[in-house]
Amino acid sequence: MRLGVIMLVHTALHRAEAVIRRWTAADCPVVVHVDKATPREEVERFTAALADLGEMVSFARRHRCEWGTWGLVAATQDAAEQMLLKHRDVGHVYLASGSCLPLRPVEELKAYLAARPEADFIESATTADVPWTVGGLSDERFTLRFPFSWKRRRKLFDGYVNFQRRIGFRRRIPAGIVPHMGSQWWCLSRRTLSAILTDPLRLVHDRYFRRVWIPDESYFQTLVRLYSTNVESRSLTLSKFDFQGKPHIFYDDHLELLRRSDCFVARKIWPHADLLYETFLGPLPAKEAEPNPGKIDRVFAKAVERRTRGRPGLYMQSRFPNAGWENGVTSARYCVFEGLDELFEDFAPWLARLSGAKVHGHLFAPEGAEFEGGQAHVAGALSAAPGLRDRNPRMFLTNLIWNARGERQCFSFGPADNQAISWDIAKDPSADISVVSGAWAVSLFRSGAPFEVIRARAARLQKLEADHIAALRSPYAKAAVKVWTMAEFVEAPMEVLQHAAEAAAPQAGTGRLTEVPKMADLAGFGRFLQQLKNEGMHPHLMGDYPVDPAPLGKRRSVRKPYLVR
Amino acid sequence: MGFRQAYRLRLRRKRWRLRALRKRRELTSVVDRTGAIRRSDLLVCSTFRNENLRLPHFLDYYRQMGIGHFIMVDNGSTDGGLEYLSEQPDVSLWTTGASYKRARFGMDWLNWLLMRHGPGHWCLTVDPDELFVFPFCDTRPLRALTDWLDAGSIKSLSAMLLDMYPKGGESARPYQRGDDPLQIACWFDSGNYTIERNHKLGNLWIQGGPRARTFFPEEPYHAPALNKIPLVKWDRSCIYDNSTHALLPRGLNAVFDEWGGEKASGLLLHTKFLGTFAAKAAEEMARGQHYAASREYRAYATGGETAEPDLWCPWSETYINWRQLEILGLMSKGNWA
């Protein structure tokens, strides 16, 4: 038995001609369907060029094949009938397009089919079970009417679909038919194909499918289920589709991928891919392998994912998501420490030593970003200049995290800093925020500034921090937040440090800290807070900080001085 | 978008068209070979002034990419660039002595020529110091990209301006005519760009890079805009609104994805800083023909007191290829594979 090929062509006819010669050289008769829209001179040149092949090539009645319309099915039907009638010895019929290219010697395909004489290779799945649909139409492509072109009259198309939905219109599906769909490129056995074409009910089927949307993906795929005894639900043509249902195109640089795929035929090949045509239409090494498109699948699946999901935390010229659609506000986890650097004198170097993370100072300090090591720039040539940073603080942060991919970033934040990112970090699921509230007062306490100045400043900072903590505790907050008051901190400072260490280096485990930074001297701090209270400025963010710092003293278990009068 | 705004944008588009029609009188044809343009040709459109030094490489670079015809406007060159271009077989050349500024920085002239010769073609509008880079540009010609865009009914492609600079002052190595400028200006900033949306025209406003970092740290709002949409399937209705930063109708500016995905995009490698720059800045400042009272050039002249500003910093990246730029997140393959 021979293998017959139906080829649907519309452009790049010189490439189609070369491929036809490939098929016929391997004793495969070809029936060609040329789109009715192809200019006459081109068709004439094409037919004249193929004249020397004689009986091996014939031309089917021409139809206008617009994407998603019946024309493609009608063209296939006519060509298939012609094939079955003209070539009685054809056992399998392969449907290919003008941009298909055989990747392996045709003999191997013939042997493969000869070993499976009954098999029908056609992708065929019920709509309910696959997510292939494009444009939100799955079942509905079988139950609505589609008189308007999707390509040229999109608004009318959508409007009419919505109208039918609203009035509850449903077409009746002919009895005995269960809609299936799948890739339009198939290879059917003579028995199945002629059963479909000579069915007494063909008129009913044709009338129904004529108004189905994209019938070329469902006509044969559905009817094959009625007649075939051996459906292999996969296509022998390697053909990948992107998220909009458009086929991916192969170029010269896909040569190795295609070679290793061991597929029989691939589509669609870019007409100017000289190297691909040269290679695969030249002599090919013989191989005995099952088609294995896995690697190509991965490449294209990645491309679709990049187009639909993108890289989390990246903002650039062609990816600028609306709020809430970022798929991760920033690209990696990072830590924010609020107040800890006030309470420990060498907090940043200690944390850097312990965790190996990049520990910056106050990135949003009014004088400019305090990058690790006092640098003027960090990765990505991100500048510390306050003007540039405050131009867009949110992008300053997302840039910083993006540029340092693979290295955990930590920084300090406080009420004296630019508060513009307060909500951004609160809503960022990759932020890990540890706060000792009220700790900003420590530097005021030690500043020795006039009390009037301190009082005004304390009132302002308290207000800012209260707002910030409200953001962290709002229902919109997605960051991992831990807040201690100053009072809670002096009760158990080690707990806070332990938490900070684990946040900065989660992989290091929860071992006990072997080295701790030096804590600021808080003697008299309670008194200082009481003084603020006495002035009418109640520092509420510190919690119930004891006027007498007894807990600290106890913890250190230093002996009290012993006085003898 | 409401009806009022839609209509206002329509009027704006008409206004630029009329302006382009009016400004066509300033152009004098030097060589018109546009009759040789074939239907499938890709076109490059450009204005230039005293760029003779760069022109040979510029032509080579784009010819290799598969450009079929160059549409060039000379604005009073005195360095022989005009004569050089007029001898090239694939160049159509116009010249004008009129004000660059009053032609909206050359855009009116180019809009006219695009209206005239662009419809139906993919047109790449770039300056002579801008080298277009797109995904797979080392293995596929530009036609592969435009065919792919056509297949997806995509009409325009974004290509942000990426400022390239040499290390250690510009005159460290002099640029020779015909050389690849990227041999000298091979450094760039990879991650200090800020992006905002322009809701009126639907495009993005991108700033940052070495120029913002060095010359505009105090007034970053005045730093040059880097967003560009240079590659467009030209249609009768198209018009460039504001340099190549934005187009009308504004659907052409939707070159970015708003729902988390990435669309395909390229980059324009901007090789302005080549050692010839200091002299140029002085000249351009004197002419006062550039955007916003030549603020940019003034900033250069004062910013780099030494007259040769060094844009290099320890975190500058060396240019390797488009894949590097893609990994850094400056451009994207989108779903092209």
- What is the share, in percent, of chain A residues with pLDDT greater than 90? 57
Total number of residues shown for chain B: 337
| Residue B288 confidence (pLDDT) above 90 | no
pLDDT band at A516; cut points 50, 70, 90: confident
pLDDT band at B300; cut points 50, 70, 90: low
> Shortest Cα distance from A309 to chain B (angstroms)?
4
Question: By the CB < 8 Å criterion, does B97 face chain A?
Answer: no
**What integer pLDDT is reported at residue A526 of this predicted model?**
87
Q: How far apart are CA A387 and CA B220, in angstroms?
A: 7
- Backbone angle region of A212, left / alpha / beta, with phi > 0 → left and psi within -120 to 50 → alpha: beta
**What integer pLDDT is reported at residue A252 of this predicted model?**
95
**What integer pLDDT is reported at residue A428 of this predicted model?**
93
What residues pair up with B133 in beta bridges, in sequence order?
Answer: B267
| Residue B174 confidence (pLDDT) above 70 | yes
Tell which B residues from 205 to 224 touch A, by Cβ distance under 8 Å. 206-208, 210, 212-213, 216-221
Question: By the CB < 8 Å criterion, does B167 face chain A?
Answer: no
Q: How far apart are CA A222 and CA A127, in angstroms?
A: 11
pLDDT band at B293; cut points 50, 70, 90: low
| Residue B285 confidence (pLDDT) above 80 | no
Domain-wise residue ranges, chain A: 2-115+236-308, 334-510
Residue of B142, B165, B194 to mutate for A, most A C-beta atoms under 10 A:
B194
Of A275-279, A553-557, B138-142, give the lowest mean pLDDT range.
A553-557
Q: How many residue contacts between A and B have a Cβ separation below 8 Å?
A: 180
The radius of gyration of chain A from alpha carbons, rounded to an integer in Å, stands at 36
Tokens of A542: 């510190």
Quick: pLDDT tens for A195-250: 999 999 999 999 999 988 888 889 999 999 999 889 999 889 988 777 777 888 99
pLDDT band at A288; cut points 50, 70, 90: confident
Residues of A in Cβ contact (< 8 Å) with B335: 242-243, 303-304, 306-308
pLDDT band at A553; cut points 50, 70, 90: very low
pLDDT band at A463; cut points 50, 70, 90: very high
- In A87-147, which ranges are continuous DSSP H helix? 106-114, 140-143
Do residues A424 and A326 touch, judged by C-beta distance below 8 A? no
Q: Does the bond joining A268 to the residue before it have cis omega, within 30 degrees of 0?
A: yes
Domain-wise residue ranges, chain B: 3-327
Residues of A in Cβ contact (< 8 Å) with B147: 249, 270, 272
The reply to whether CATH 3.40.50 applies to domain B3-327 is no
Contact A309/B261, CB-based, under 8 Å?
yes
Residues of A in Cβ contact (< 8 Å) with B260: 308-310, 319, 321, 325-327
- DSSP assignment of A440-495 equals HHHHHHHH---HHHHHHHHHHHHHHHHHHHHHHTSTT--SEEEEEEHHHHHH-HHH
Do residues A28 and A4 touch, judged by C-beta distance below 8 A? yes
Q: How far apart are CA A244 and CA A251, in angstroms?
A: 20
Contacting residues for A406 by C-beta, under 8 A, at least 6 apart: A332
| Residue B263 confidence (pLDDT) above 60 | yes
Average pLDDT of the segment spanning A365-391: 93
**What integer pLDDT is reported at residue A182 of this predicted model?**
87
| Residue A548 confidence (pLDDT) above 80 | no
DSSP state of A410: E
**What integer pLDDT is reported at residue B306 of this predicted model?**
46
Highest-pLDDT range among A137-151, A426-440, B304-318? A426-440
pLDDT band at B302; cut points 50, 70, 90: low
Q: How far apart are CA A263 and CA A187, in angstroms?
A: 14
**What integer pLDDT is reported at residue A554 of this predicted model?**
47
Mean per-residue pLDDT of chain A: 89
Quick: pLDDT tens for A332-348: 999 999 999 999 988 99
Of A386-400, A502-516, B212-226, give the lowest mean pLDDT range.
A502-516
Q: Does the bond joining A415 to the residue before it have cis omega, within 30 degrees of 0?
A: no
Nearest CA to A500 among A438, A440, A434?
A434
Is the torsion defined by CA of A503, A507, A509, A514 positive or negative? negative
Q: Which of B208, B329, B337 sits opposite A300 (nearest CB)?
A: B337
**What integer pLDDT is reported at residue A537 of this predicted model?**
85
Contact B140/A387, CB-based, under 8 Å?
no
Look at A406 and A364; give whichever has higher pLDDT. A364
Average pLDDT of the segment spanning B10-31: 94
Least CA distance to B257: which residue of chain A? A319
Q: How far apart are CA B227 and CA A254, in angstroms?
A: 31
Tokens of A529: 């807070």
| Residue B212 confidence (pLDDT) above 60 | yes
* Fold of the domain built from segment(s) A334-510: Rossmann fold (3.40.50)
| Residue B229 confidence (pLDDT) above 60 | yes
Average pLDDT of the segment spanning B50-75: 95
pLDDT band at A145; cut points 50, 70, 90: confident
Of A482-491, A540-549, B169-178, give the lowest mean pLDDT range.
B169-178
- What is the share, in percent, of chain B residues with pLDDT greater than 70? 91
pLDDT band at B287; cut points 50, 70, 90: confident
- What is the share, in percent, of chain A residues with pLDDT greater than 70? 95
pLDDT band at B303; cut points 50, 70, 90: low
**What integer pLDDT is reported at residue B305 of this predicted model?**
47
Contact A317/B206, CB-based, under 8 Å?
yes
Give the three-class secondary structure for A428.
coil
Contact B194/A242, CB-based, under 8 Å?
no
**What integer pLDDT is reported at residue A565 of this predicted model?**
53
| Residue A101 confidence (pLDDT) above 90 | yes
Question: By the CB < 8 Å criterion, does B258 face chain A?
Answer: yes
Do residues A363 and A346 touch, judged by C-beta distance below 8 A? no
Mean per-residue pLDDT of chain B: 90
Quick: pLDDT tens for B324-336: 999 999 999 999 9
pLDDT band at A133; cut points 50, 70, 90: low
| Residue A135 confidence (pLDDT) above 70 | no
Quick: pLDDT tens for A9-62: 999 999 999 999 999 999 999 999 999 999 999 999 999 999 999 889 999 999
